[in-house]
Amino acid sequence: MIDWNKIETVLFDMDGTLLDLHYDNYFWLQHLPQRYATLKGWTETQSRDFLLDKIRAQHGTLNFYCIDYWSDELGVDIVEMKHQIKNRIQFLPHAETLLAEIKALPIQSLIVTNAHRKTLAVKDSKINISSYVDNVCASHDFGLPKEDPEFWQHFADKFSFDPNTTVFVDDNEAVLDSAAKFGIRHLVMPLNPDSQRPAQLMRQPECYTGIESLQQIIPD
């Protein structure tokens, strides 16, 4: 699927690509609504509907991923709440093997995530994911989400890489669209980002290589 002998750089998204998206989905769809309902004296359904409306309004923007924004907007300590359920943070199947095999090759490896650095710190406190790659880039460092084509030029100004010899793995098709416009050649989309809801994304994307398991791209 990928001729790793011709690859110089691999870029990994984090949540839903290397890490099980179940943690994030559980937080935003269950844990936060439950806690917010108690805080406001609402039913859990009222709380979830209120939060989903607010979240959808920020979709595709940097605020959508910003822990500081949501803490201020909702008047709650999002980081503390995330720590409460960090036992749910885990790698997707074969992610650790893939990362180890990449690290053994003369290939630059980076995590490029829309996650806020405070979210990254929560995940590092559980599984030290930053140690598996050469560097970690958060879109907040540039003030733009990965969905914005301008993000990639800012990223390229900081990290040297050749788009023609780069693999980018991300479960977000809008992000892959943006990377494709910039010229990144090898684009891979995991189809099972949440281990608890695998059937929902069992589809082949139109323009990218869809994989059902990270095992499919582990170097031989």
Which single residue is written with the structure tokens 């669209």? 177
DSSP bridge partners of 9: 108, 166
Indicate if 57 and 152 belong to the same structural domain. no
Indicate if 115 and 175 belong to the same structural domain. yes
Indicate if 77 and 95 belong to the same structural domain. no
| Final residue before a domain boundary, out of 58, 87, 116 | 87
Residue 203: predicted pLDDT: 60
Indicate if 138 and 152 belong to the same structural domain. yes
Indicate if 38 and 120 belong to the same structural domain. no
Residue 204: predicted pLDDT: 66
Q: What is the CATH number of the domain that holds 9?
A: 3.40.50.1000
| Final residue before a domain boundary, out of 36, 70, 87 | 87
Indicate if 99 and 141 belong to the same structural domain. yes
Indicate if 75 and 102 belong to the same structural domain. no
Residue 198: predicted pLDDT: 65
Domain total of the chain = 2
Mean pLDDT for back-to-back runs of 10 residues, the chain (220 residues): 95 98 97 98 97 95 96 98 98 98 97 97 97 97 96 96 97 95 96 80 72 94
Domain coverage including residue 162:
4-20+90-217
Indicate if 124 and 209 belong to the same structural domain. yes
DSSP bridge partners of 137: 112
pTM: 0.95
Indicate if 104 and 169 belong to the same structural domain. yes
Which single residue is written with the structure tokens 């995991």? 190
Indicate if 68 and 171 belong to the same structural domain. no
Q: In what order do the strands lie in the sheet with 186-190?
A: 135-138, 108-113, 9-12, 166-169, 186-190, 209-211
Residue 220: predicted pLDDT: 86
The 8-class DSSP code of residue 193 comes to -
